[in-house]
Structure 1
Amino acid sequence: MAILIGIVLISVSGFVVSLALYRWIVRLPQPSPSLTRISTLIKDGANVFLFREAKYLTRFCLSAALCILLLLPRPLFLDPSIENLYIAAAYLFGTVLSALCAVLGMQAATIANAKTADRARQSLASAFLCSFRGGSVMGIFVVCTSLSGITLLFFFTDDTSYLLAFSFGASSLALFAKAGGGIFTKTADISADLVGKVELGMAEDDYRNPAVIADNVGDNVGDVAGMGSDLFDSYVAALVASLVIALSLDASYAYLVLSYSAVGTFATILMVGSVRLKEGKSVTSALNRSTYGTSLLSLLGFALVTYLLDAPLALLFCTVLGLGVGSVIGIVTNHFTDDTHAPVRRVAASGKKGPAFSVLGGFSYGLLSTFPALVGIALCTLLSYRLAAPLGTGMGFFGVSLSSVGMLSIVGMVVSNDAYGPIVDNARGLAQMSSLGEETLARTDALDSAGNTVKAITKGFAIASAGLAVISLLGAFLAQIGMEAARLGLSAVQILDALSPSFLFGLLVGIGVPAVFSALLIQAVQDNACLMVEEIHHQFETIEGLKEGKAGVLPKYDTCIDLATKAALHRLIPAGLFTILMTLVVGFFGGYVAVSGFIIGNIACGLLLALLMSNTGGLWDNAKKWVEAGNEGGKHSDAHQAAVISDTIGDPFKDTAGPSLNTQITLVTLVSSLFASLFLRYSLF
């Protein structure tokens, strides 16, 4: 009981700090009328998108809750039970908390962007503090909401079905939030670049471009709201997997899991308040110091918790291993996506010979970048399993789950750094559109450049952590199968055989699902961008004086925002439904053995594609920025045109399909675990 109370107190302190940071940003001096006007357009557009998306997702979540009520843990029409109602309520609880993380983070970001641009007129350090604290509002809120929500659920019931339903709620909403935001932002980004940069040679955030405000709106709904829900989902999934496995072994291990998580949360809260930037120092170094500092504090806390709870040292090593591998994967991602390293510069240089060389070079480096990360995840899984396995039956997967908890222990700081990116990106656009001067623009460029680097690293971290979390969830699925089999009175559960027809059937179908899921999202971006390009052309042709920049003539920004919103929401549901329905079809067709293969195939293919698309897109993005900084011929050169085209291809890779695959593979495993009892009872084979 004392442990649970301590965890709740840490969560409450985090909420207080998050609120204090939000109030600090709100109380900063009001920016100039020009900045405020443009910032309000961005904020209103983001709110319109979230409001319309909420209506779509409310209907979906209520329908899903009704299905859960009727079917889980047993069909209501066969065995009426109050348990069905509780599981449906736990699912809705997860969706509500995930939505709260998205909404609060975006509100803070859309206030901080204008104030960051305004403070950039004074100094780089002042602007950095505003943008970082704006991101930290969501970072702290995400981790505290995850931890407190699961702790409260665990306090009232230790039934694993409720925990899995809660995680399923977080995952289903995160999938649609990330996919919907990704479709919106890349629809606007691609359209603005193709017409503004490639056709007309306009600057990045030229006010004449009708899609420029929609592009800035997309940064918030995709990279702030979407990523907040995404990492909330990964963190919850890792905790739930560990708790499910722990409860199948020994309930005392559940307190160890929650304590490790609380340590990471407390370390994040301490570090957020200490982050500063000294004038003349590197912004990227300041952000990296915050991450490494949080990791070090977490490491010390893990050791203390292990000692106080008298837990086996092997479990501490598993947790530390996950934390270390997460950092290494971030460093590898940085090598392939940062413009200070050879891959980005070589791709930028190859663009002088034509766009095809830029595309081929970036794609080949993207393929190379997947290998170190996959090896890191594989080694972490193998070593943590081997470390914990001697402690008893079932402890191997518990060790893997603890490594995912260790990796995600610093998720609060990761989210803070990730949300910082869109804030400074918006600030840079606001500075350009409000003509704040070259010095201010140079400062926001420095902030934005660091944001792009850190954003690429956080995406690599998010994918790696999702990979470990779903491997842990595979262990939770098998534990759930064992518990359900015992409850049904089955003497034994068939041992998984990698050569059985059912397993191979599930494996091959599982490999195909991430590819189809990605295709649906990329096609949505392509189709919607075509519509927006037509709208931009229409405005340039019909609004007299717009292309020439005549004083007082402005484009119809709202039309582009409305078009991107409707198009994104129209294509939002099919990809998510496809994932859920395929899992159920495989389960009821081939049983739990087929589902096990399906999960493994989905994890393997999903991780590969997610890493490939996120890293390739990040590399192309920074290659473009390297050229725009004056290298390889600078703006309007052949290398620049090739870089813009490559970046346009990479946009839906890195900001729509790639990050959404994190949640897709988590969702598959959670659906499988929730429906485990039904797969045991009812399947064709």
Structure 2
Amino acid sequence: MASVLMGLWSGLLVGLVTEYFTSHSYRPVRDIALSQRTSAATGIIYGLALGYLSTIVPVLALSVTILVSHEFCGMYGIALAALGMLSTLCVGLAIDAYGPIADNAGGIAEMSHLGASVRRRTDALDAAGNTTAAVGKGFAIGSAALVALALFGAFCTRANIEKVNVLNAWTFAGVLYGAMMPYAFSALTMKSVGKAATDMVDECMRQFPKIINGEAPPDYTRCISISTSASLKEMILPGALVILSPLVFGVLCGKNATAGLLVGALSSGVQMAISMSNTGGAWDNAKKYIESGGLGPEHGKGSSTHKHAVT
């Protein structure tokens, strides 16, 4: 019971910290918005710094949860803590679905040329949706870290590994490789998104002249085909990296190196996931704050500050 309560406590703390760092009601996001007055580069720097800073409290909360849960029930206690964090899953999924709904409502209002008051309301809903999405990701990341640690314990038991000695050269090499994997995976997926976006923009630019002149109707099927094809093809390499790395390491380097790989991937992956999630939410809500006139009418929508934020 104590382990489950620890999971609930850490999930609550992660959610509160995520809201603080991604909502434009608080100072961090407003600082990003203020930095956009200078250039887009300063906004990027502030956003990255905010994301890195936002990892401190969640990691401390997860660390305390792991220590206390392990003291009560060992690795089983850590798995129970993950279960406690996921006990609010139904509410989290409902809240997480709110973001895209609000975002699409804003898009419909924009394309329908509705009044400014309608757009202001949908922007407020969209900003709240960005925050709730980041909170949902925080829960997912935290619970995934706890589950991964419990599974790592199962792997060590199955492989008869009593201690993971980082002074062992093979183990330390595995730790370094594992710590690199989240960065490689992120790089591959980000590059894939950029490639798919480029193909989509090219297709839209090809269709626009004919649509405007009335020569041809919009070809939605082609756009959907580009997105679907890219989402499937571009995930082959990242998926292979995640699936094959432990197998290859286990066969070529042994179980100790594989244990090091898992430790490295877990330790760097948690920090990277939290920082990237919160950085994205903060950038988006900083843009919303500027659009709502938070910096004054001279820095509102269409201004150079707003263009920097869009970048």
- Normalised TM-score (structure 2): 0.92
- Are positions 1:352 and 2:37 aligned together? yes
| Amino acid of the structure 1 residue aligned with 2:159 | I
Which of residues 166, 191, 198 is equivalent to 1:530? Answer: 198
Aligned twin of 2:158: 480
Aligned twin of 2:48: 363
Judge conservation of contact 1:332–1:369 (CA < 8 Å) in 2.
yes
- Are positions 1:384 and 2:69 aligned together? yes
Residues 1:445 and 1:496: Cα distance change in structure 2 (over 3 Å) = closer
- Counterparts of 1:597 and 1:521, CA distance in 2: 24
Which of residues 380, 387, 402 is equivalent to 2:80? Answer: 402
Which of residues 548, 562, 573 is equivalent to 2:236? Answer: 573
Judge conservation of contact 2:23–2:128 (CA < 8 Å) in 1.
no
1:659-670 map, 5 Å: none
- Are positions 1:375 and 2:60 aligned together? yes
Judge conservation of contact 2:175–2:263 (CA < 8 Å) in 1.
yes
Displacement of 1:542 in angstroms is 4.1
Residues 1:640 and 1:442: Cα distance change in structure 2 (over 3 Å) = closer
- Counterparts of 1:364 and 1:611, CA distance in 2: 12
Aligned twin of 1:459: 137
* 1:497 match: secondary structure: coil
1:106-505 map, 5 Å: 316-386=1-71, 388=72, 395-435=73-113, 437=115, 440-482=118-160, 495-505=163-173
Judge conservation of contact 1:427–1:444 (CA < 8 Å) in 2.
yes
Residues 1:442 and 1:630: Cα distance change in structure 2 (over 3 Å) = closer
| Amino acid of the structure 1 residue aligned with 2:90 | G
Aligned twin of 1:638: 304
Judge conservation of contact 1:319–1:404 (CA < 8 Å) in 2.
yes
Which of residues 590, 593, 599 is equivalent to 2:253? Answer: 590
- Counterparts of 2:77 and 2:258, CA distance in 1: 23
- Counterparts of 2:231 and 2:282, CA distance in 1: 25
* 2:8 match: secondary structure: helix
* Cα deviations by residue, 1:247-284 (Å, 9 ceiling, x for unpaired): xxxxxxxxxxxxxxxxxxxxxxxxxxxxxxxxxxxxxx
Residues 1:459 and 1:430: Cα distance change in structure 2 (over 3 Å) = same
Displacement of 1:378 in angstroms is 1.3
- Counterparts of 1:439 and 1:346, CA distance in 2: 26
| Amino acid of the structure 2 residue aligned with 1:401 | A
| Amino acid of the structure 2 residue aligned with 1:610 | A
- Are positions 1:627 and 2:290 aligned together? yes
Displacement of 1:435 in angstroms is 4.8
| Amino acid of the structure 2 residue aligned with 1:640 | H
- Are positions 1:612 and 2:278 aligned together? no
Residues 1:372 and 1:538: Cα distance change in structure 2 (over 3 Å) = same
CA radius of gyration, larger in: 1
- Counterparts of 2:123 and 2:216, CA distance in 1: 27
- Counterparts of 2:126 and 2:217, CA distance in 1: 26
- Counterparts of 1:333 and 1:349, CA distance in 2: 20
Judge conservation of contact 1:404–1:472 (CA < 8 Å) in 2.
no
| Amino acid of the structure 1 residue aligned with 2:310 | V
- Counterparts of 2:242 and 2:162, CA distance in 1: 26
Residues 1:496 and 1:349: Cα distance change in structure 2 (over 3 Å) = closer
Aligned length: 308
* 1:364 match: secondary structure: helix
- Counterparts of 1:441 and 1:355, CA distance in 2: 25
Aligned twin of 1:307: none
- Counterparts of 1:373 and 1:495, CA distance in 2: 26
Displacement of 1:440 in angstroms is 4.7
Which of residues 224, 237, 240 is equivalent to 1:561? Answer: 224
Displacement of 1:340 in angstroms is 0.4
Residues 1:554 and 1:347: Cα distance change in structure 2 (over 3 Å) = farther
Judge conservation of contact 2:250–2:257 (CA < 8 Å) in 1.
yes
* 1:453 match: secondary structure: helix
Structure 2 regions of 5+ residues with no counterpart? none
* 2:37 match: secondary structure: helix
Displacement of 1:456 in angstroms is 1.3
Judge conservation of contact 2:15–2:135 (CA < 8 Å) in 1.
yes
* 1:352 match: secondary structure: coil
| Amino acid of the structure 1 residue aligned with 2:28 | P
Structure 1 regions of 5+ residues with no counterpart? 1-315, 389-394, 483-492, 547-551, 646-685
* 1:563 match: secondary structure: helix
- Counterparts of 1:496 and 1:349, CA distance in 2: 47
- Are positions 1:599 and 2:262 aligned together? yes
Displacement of 1:436 in angstroms is 5.4
- Normalised TM-score (structure 1): 0.43
Judge conservation of contact 2:179–2:264 (CA < 8 Å) in 1.
yes
Aligned-residue RMSD, C-alpha: 2.1
Judge conservation of contact 1:431–1:441 (CA < 8 Å) in 2.
yes
Displacement of 1:360 in angstroms is 0.8
Displacement of 1:628 in angstroms is 1.1
Displacement of 1:545 in angstroms is 4.7
| Amino acid of the structure 1 residue aligned with 2:288 | K
* 2:52 match: secondary structure: helix
